[in-house]
């Protein structure tokens, strides 16, 4: 059974700093991995999708990497801003139409 872990559960950093969020998964036979952002009481906004054959994806200040063999993904946020404060979730697809989510990292950017 696929299990997804996100550490740390919460992170606070001063505005302007670069930061890395971590995601690990137990079964390396994944189809793809998706990072989402969730604001309090809201739905999920897709940030980046990495296919199993890819090593990284970039969108603006965000960069996600994937190391399938070690069961790890990271989300790098450059030059953090207060508007980046949210919970970040990673989700793994094994191609069976079900996403397995981690419990998320709650990020607070301190102005």
The residue ranges that bind other proteins (CB under 8 A) are 4, 31-32, 34, 36, 41-46, 49, 51, 89, 91, 93, 95, 97-104
Closest distance to other proteins from the beta carbon of 83 (Å): 18
DSSP helix/strand/coil, 84: helix
**Nearer residue to other proteins within complex by CB, 12 or 103:** 103
**Nearer residue to other proteins within complex by CB, 85 or 93:** 93
Q: Beta-carbon neighbour count of residue 10 at 10 Å?
A: 10
Q: Which two tokens stand for residue 65?
A: 């990497």
d(CA 38, CA 102): 13
Closest distance to other proteins from the beta carbon of 49 (Å): 4
**Nearer residue to other proteins within complex by CB, 69 or 97:** 97
Contact present, 89 and 35 (Cβ < 8 Å):
yes
Closest distance to other proteins from the beta carbon of 79 (Å): 25
Q: Which two tokens stand for residue 21?
A: 């969020």
């Amino acid at each position: 059974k696929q299990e997804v872990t996100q550490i740390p559960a919460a992170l606070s950093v001063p505005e302007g700093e670069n930061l890395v969020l971590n995601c690990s998964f137990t079964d390396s036979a994944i189809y793809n991995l998706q990072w989402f952002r969730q604001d309090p009481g809201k739905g999920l906004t897709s940030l980046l999708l990495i296919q199993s054959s890819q090593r990284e994806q970039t969108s603006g200040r965000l960069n996600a990497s994937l190391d399938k063999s070690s069961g790890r993904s990271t989300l790098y946020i450059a030059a953090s801003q207060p508007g980046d404060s949210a919970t970040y979730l990673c989700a793994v697809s094994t191609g069976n139409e079900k996403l397995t989510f981690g419990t998320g990292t709650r990020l607070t950017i301190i102005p």
